[in-house]
Amino acid sequence: MNTLLRSAALLSLFAVIMASTAAAKGPATKVFVVNQADSTVSLVDLTTMKEIRVIHVGASPYFASVSGDQTTLAVAVEGDQKVKFYDTKNFQLKGELTVGKMYAEHMMEFPDGKRFMLANRYGNAILIIGYESMQIEERIPDVSSPHNIRLGGTERYVYATSKTNPGISVIDVQTRKVVRFISTKYIPRGLAGSVDDRYFYCGANWISGMFMYETETGKFVRFIQTPLPHKETTVLENTYHGFEAVNDSIVLGTFEGLSALDVMNTHTGAVVFRTENVAMPSAVLAWPGKPGWYVFTNMKSSTVQTFQLTKDYKIDLGPAVKCGTGRIELPKRFCFFWG
C-alpha cells in the first residue's frame, strides 16, 4: 500500500472510530455558556432550549471546559487570574488554580478527557491542567503569546494564534512541541483546523474574508474574499470571530462585527450560503452526536442558538435562548455537557 492510500485508510478508520464514539455517547444535551460581561456561566438545555441555571464565577470569565467524565467544570476567570473548578452535580466550587495575569485565554479539552489546555499568553506557553488534580501537569513552551487554540480534526495537531506576533503555532499533540510557526502579515483572529488536518483556516481584523494555509508546509493556499453583510460599504474592525470545518470543502464562519453566518467552499473560494438573521455571532461549533447540527452564540442579543446545515449547505436556524442575568452579558464561548 503506498503512502497516499495508507493515509487515506487511516483517516477513514479515524472517522469511523470518531463517529462510533459519538454515537455511543449520544448527542450532547446541554451547553455551558460563558457570559463575559456579567461574571456568570449559564447552563442551557439544548433539548428544551431553556436556561436552567446561572453560576456566578467571578469577574470577566472567558472560557470553560468540562472533563470527559462530565463531573468537573473548569472556568478561566480573568478578573481573578484563576481557573476555577466546579462540581457539575451541585455547582459547588471544588478548587482554584492561580495562573497569573490573563487576557482572553482560550481553553480546550485534551483528547484523553482528563486534562485541558489553557493558552498562557504572558508565559508564551500552553498549559496542560488536570481536572482532578486542579494543577498544571505539563507546560508546552515556546508558543508565541497564544490566544485562540483549536484541536485539529485528527487530534494530531493543536493550532494557536498569536496575540502579538503575526502568525500561528502548530503543535504536535504527542511530542508537546511546536513543530512550526507560520508567519502571517496580520494578527490572526478566529481559527479552525480541517477535518484531516491538512489545512487550517483563520481570519483577521479589518479584513472581510478567510485565509487558508497548508499545515505541513505553512504554505498560503488561498484567501476567500467575502462580501460585506447587510449591503455595508465599510468593513469594521471585528470581522470573522469563529470558524468550524464541516468537511474537506466546507467551512462555517461567524462574521461578528456586521452580523452574518456564512458557509464557505474552500475549493471554489465562494460563499455558498449566508444568513444575516443573527446578532453579532461569535463562537460556532458542531453539535456532538447530532450530525448536521451546530450551536453558536449571538453577542448582541445575548443568546445561544442552534441551526441545521442542510445537504445542499443552507442554514436552517433553530431557536435561541437568552443567557445571563439580564445585563450586557456578551456570551462568546461555550462547551458541551452530557450531564
Does residue 83 form part of some domain?
A: yes
Instruction: Quote the pLDDT of residue 11.
Output: 43
The pLDDT tens digits of the residues spanning 37-69 come to 989 999 999 999 999 999 999 999 999 999 999
Q: Does the structure show a pLDDT above 60 at 1?
A: no
d(CA 165, CA 142) in angstroms, rounded, equals 12
- Residue 329 pLDDT: 66
Average pLDDT, the chain: 92
- Report the pLDDT averaged over residues 187-210: 96
How many domains in the chain? Answer: 1
Asked if the model's pLDDT at residue 13 lies above 70, the reply is no
pTM for the model stands at 0.91
For 123-134, the pLDDT digits (tens) are 999 999 999 999
pLDDT digits (tens, 9 = 90+) for 78-94: 999 999 999 999 999 99
Is residue 161 assigned to a domain?
yes
Say which residues have a Cβ less than 8 Å from residue 123's Cβ, sequence separation at least 6.
100, 139
* Parent domain of 318: 26-337
Give the CATH number for residue 169: 2.130.10.10
User: Is 33 a domain residue?
Assistant: yes
Assess if residue 18 is contained within a domain. Answer: no
Residue 15 lies in a domain: no
**pLDDT score recorded for residue 179:** 97
Mean pLDDT of the region 217-231: 95
Q: Is residue 45 part of a domain?
A: yes
Q: Per-residue confidence at 236, pLDDT binned at 50, 70, 90? A: confident
Residue 5 lies in a domain: no
Q: Give the residue-averaged pLDDT of 308-322.
A: 98
Please check whether residue 10 lies inside any domain of the structure: no
> Which position has the grid cell 460585506?
228
